[in-house]
Structure 1
Amino acid sequence: MGLYIEARIRADLDDLWTRTQDPAQHQRWDLRFTEITLLPSAEDEPQRFRYATRVLPFLKIAGTGVSAGERRRPDGTRTSALRFASPHPLSLLAEGSGYWRYIPDGDGVRFLTGYDYRPRWGVLGALADRLLLRPLMGWATAWSFDRLRLWLERDITPERARANWLAELLLRALTAALSLTLFDYGHLLPPAGPLSPLLSFTTPVLSLVALSLALLAPPLPTTPAARRCLRTPSTHTRAPRLLRTLEDHR
């Protein structure tokens, strides 16, 4: 699989399963989707669904897919798999597949995903995917996993987590702007001022400290952050056999 994301979530396995398998709850925490709707499916067939992502205020890109899950496995883990495709001409993502694994781990669950997709638009699309879409999809998945973790561990709703993230971004931007202002402050002082030499020395130092805090300070505990997730598997992983059962149901 091309992308791999893993988060360790201290939560009940059933609660994690519900908040990832129920479309109404899934679309609340997953940044990649604006809407997820189940479609009519035969009882012995994989579940069909429709998804949509709002990329602009007036533009949604939609697609369809099929999914299947194994809620009870002999080793105590759970797995779900899906295949998806978007016929929308503006969708760089043409079709793909992926899986979720739920692995009990002490007082929590290792929740991980592996997925890949085929971009459209030929060579230009492959280049755009490598430089823009794939890094963005990896970041959005990891950020969403951490938002889900905050929901389960701290009862911070996805909506509140997003507000916390936006507020922290604004605070960092203001701090960075302040650092640039401090850097030039010494030049605004009268040359004969008694504190001018001291301020001329300290203001650049203070500006560098402020800029470092804006750029390098770790995210607040209540703010979702992609950096908290593992982006490379610690051991060799393979796609589950369940994924192959969906090959005839694209």
Structure 2
Amino acid sequence: MGEKLGRTVAARKPLYIEIRIRASMERVWELSQDPKSHPRWDLRFSRIVPIDEDEQRQVRFCYEFLLPLHTIKGTGASLGHRHRADGQATSVLKFDTADVLSPIGPGSGYWRYIPTDDGLRFITGYNYEPGLGLAGKAFDSRAIRPALGWATALSFDRLRLWAESGLDPRHSRNRWFLDAGARIGGALVAVGLFRRALAKRSATMAALGAAAVALSYLAKPHWSVPRASRCLRHAPDARSARAPSTLASLREPGQSGLDNKQPTEME
């Protein structure tokens, strides 16, 4: 029983992604906070539309994620603190959806923008309840959560390329597909060469197959190809992994009105 409970807790472990961006705080803040720019680099969103903003500048919004035959829709609430005494910036978020086909249920998260000598550390941490009923709970830790972590990390590198070099996220996406296609093609060529090597007992064919495998999986990608592997997936310190205190006072996504208490940034 205790072992089963431990696996359940581990399955709900928050996702953590961090990347170094050699760009100004203003540039990264603009690209990440603007509802029109955000979906251009973030694979988790296809559209973000603000609904309202209260006296504490908490913003409520709708979001969409386009699938081939269905559009997942949900709501969220966010609050950003651009200017803090320690030079950092933070943003907190709560989200929810009533879509039964969404693999992600209600959740929350944060962004941290930590200045460095040559730019900043851009960090996110978030967690959620699985959607899709029993199937979602069964596959969350095995497939859905790892896929979300990968998509977030790849998105962060697309943001980095946009902020540092001005490379449009659409172009970096296309270059990722070209790179992936070339590597898959190389692997298929290798399979064909190995089959011919076995059939003809040819050491030359085997060597060519090994070379194709090496080129497919060991060749360094071009700098303009986004990579999830450029991100940290575990927090290097406790503070980076801790959500800002404002998350606790952030209103729920479905809550409208101006009756919230004034939140204060404590850390």
**Shift in alpha-carbon separation, 1:221–1:45, aligned structure 2, 3 A:** closer
Matched, 1:40 2:52: yes
1:215 corresponds to which residue?
217
1:69-107 Cα deviation digits (max 9, x unpaired): 101101000000010001111112110000000000111
The higher radius of gyration belongs to: 1
2:234 corresponds to which residue?
232
User: For the residues of structure 2 that align with 1:248 and 1:86, how far apart are their CA atoms?
Assistant: 12
**Shift in alpha-carbon separation, 1:204–1:102, aligned structure 2, 3 A:** same
User: For the residues of structure 2 that align with 1:36 and 1:92, how far apart are their CA atoms?
Assistant: 18
2:21 corresponds to which residue?
9
Q: Which runs of 5+ in 1 are unaligned?
A: 190-196
Task: Give the root-mean-square deviation of aligned CA atoms.
Answer: 1.7
TM-score normalised by structure 1 residue count:
0.90
User: For the residues of structure 2 that align with 1:151 and 1:229, how far apart are their CA atoms?
Assistant: 15
TM-score normalised by structure 2 residue count:
0.85
Q: State how many pairs are aligned.
A: 240
Letter in 2 for 1:5: I
1:85-135 Cα deviation digits (max 9, x unpaired): 011111121100000000001111100000000113554322211111100
Q: Which residue, 66, 78, 84 being the options, matches 2:89?
A: 78
User: For the residues of structure 2 that align with 1:13 and 1:85, how far apart are their CA atoms?
Assistant: 29
1:241 corresponds to which residue?
245
Q: Give runs of aligned pairs for residues 165-176 of structure 1, distance below 5 A.
A: 165-176=176-187
Q: Which runs of 5+ in 2 are unaligned?
A: 1-12, 255-267
User: For the residues of structure 1 that align with 2:253 and 2:164, how far apart are their CA atoms?
Assistant: 36
Letter in 2 for 1:129: D
**Shift in alpha-carbon separation, 1:120–1:162, aligned structure 2, 3 A:** closer
Look up the SS of the partner of 2:146 in the other structure. helix
Letter in 2 for 1:175: G
Alpha carbons 2:75, 2:253 under 8 Å: kept: no
Q: Give runs of aligned pairs for residues 1-250 of structure 1, distance below 5 A.
A: 2-44=14-56, 46-56=58-68, 58-186=69-197, 200-236=202-238, 237-247=241-251, 250=254
Look up the SS of the partner of 1:23 in the other structure. coil
Look up the SS of the partner of 2:36 in the other structure. helix
* Residue 221 (structure 1) shift: 1.0
**Shift in alpha-carbon separation, 1:209–1:42, aligned structure 2, 3 A:** same
* Residue 187 (structure 1) shift: 6.3
User: For the residues of structure 2 that align with 1:163 and 1:20, how far apart are their CA atoms?
Assistant: 21
Look up the SS of the partner of 1:151 in the other structure. helix
Letter in 1 for 2:211: V
Alpha carbons 2:95, 2:253 under 8 Å: kept: no
Letter in 1 for 2:24: D
1:194 corresponds to which residue?
none
User: For the residues of structure 2 that align with 1:155 and 1:39, how far apart are their CA atoms?
Assistant: 29
Letter in 2 for 1:106: D
How many percent identity over aligned positions? 43
